[in-house]
Amino acid sequence: MASVVEVAKLAGVSVATVSRVVTNSAFVEPQTRQKVEKAIKELNYVPNLLAKGMKKKSGAFIALVIEEVSRELFSSVISSIEESVSRRGYTLLLVNTAVRKGQTEDEIIGRLLGRMVDGIIVISDTKLFNKMKGSGIPMVLMNCFHEEGQVQKVRVDDYKAGVLAGEHYADLGHRKLFCLTGGGVNSTQRLSGFRDSLGRRGISLPEAQVFQGDFEYASGVAAARHIMKTGIDVSGIWAQNDLMAIGAMSELSRSGVRIPDDISILGMDDSPITQYCYPRLTTLRQPIQQMAIKTVEILLDLRDRKNVEKIDAVFSPELIIRESTRRLA
pLDDT tens digits, 250-301: 999 999 999 999 999 999 999 888 888 999 999 999 999 999 999 999 998 8
> Is residue 310 situated within a structural domain?
no
Work out the mean pLDDT of the chain and round it to a whole number: 85
- List, as one string, the DSSP characters of 103-158: S-HHHHHHHHHTT--SEEEEES-HHHHHHHGGGSS-EEEES-----SS--EEEE-H
Specify the pLDDT at position 69.
54
> Is residue 197 situated within a structural domain?
yes
pLDDT digits (tens, 9 = 90+) for 25-35: 567 888 888 89
Does 208 score more than 80 pLDDT? yes
Q: If you ran DSSP here, which 8-state letter would residue 272 be given?
A: G
Instruction: Answer whether 263's CB lies under 8 Å from 235's CB.
Output: yes
pLDDT confidence tier of residue 124, bands split at 50, 70 and 90 = low
Into how many domains does the chain fold? 2
What CATH number is attached to the domain comprising 114?
Answer: 3.40.50.2300
Specify the pLDDT at position 71.
62
What burial letters (b/e) apply to 41-67, b meaning 16+ CB within 10 Å? Answer: eebebebbbbeebbeeebbbbbbbbbb
> Is residue 301 situated within a structural domain?
no
Are 128 and 179 within one domain? Answer: no
Specify the pLDDT at position 100.
54
Are 116 and 167 within one domain? Answer: no
Specify the pLDDT at position 63.
87
pLDDT confidence tier of residue 230, bands split at 50, 70 and 90 = very high
Specify the pLDDT at position 53.
43
> Is residue 16 situated within a structural domain?
yes
Instruction: Answer whether 293's CB lies under 8 Å from 140's CB.
Output: no
Are 105 and 182 within one domain? Answer: no
Instruction: Answer whether 277's CB lies under 8 Å from 249's CB.
Output: yes
> Which stretches of the chain are DSSP H helices?
4-11, 15-23, 30-43, 50-53, 72-87, 105-113, 126-132, 158-171, 184-200, 217-230, 242-254, 288-303
Kindly state the percentage of the chain with pLDDT values over 70.
Answer: 81
Does 120 score more than 70 pLDDT? yes
pLDDT confidence tier of residue 168, bands split at 50, 70 and 90 = very high
Range of the domain at 71: 4-137
Are 207 and 253 within one domain? Answer: yes
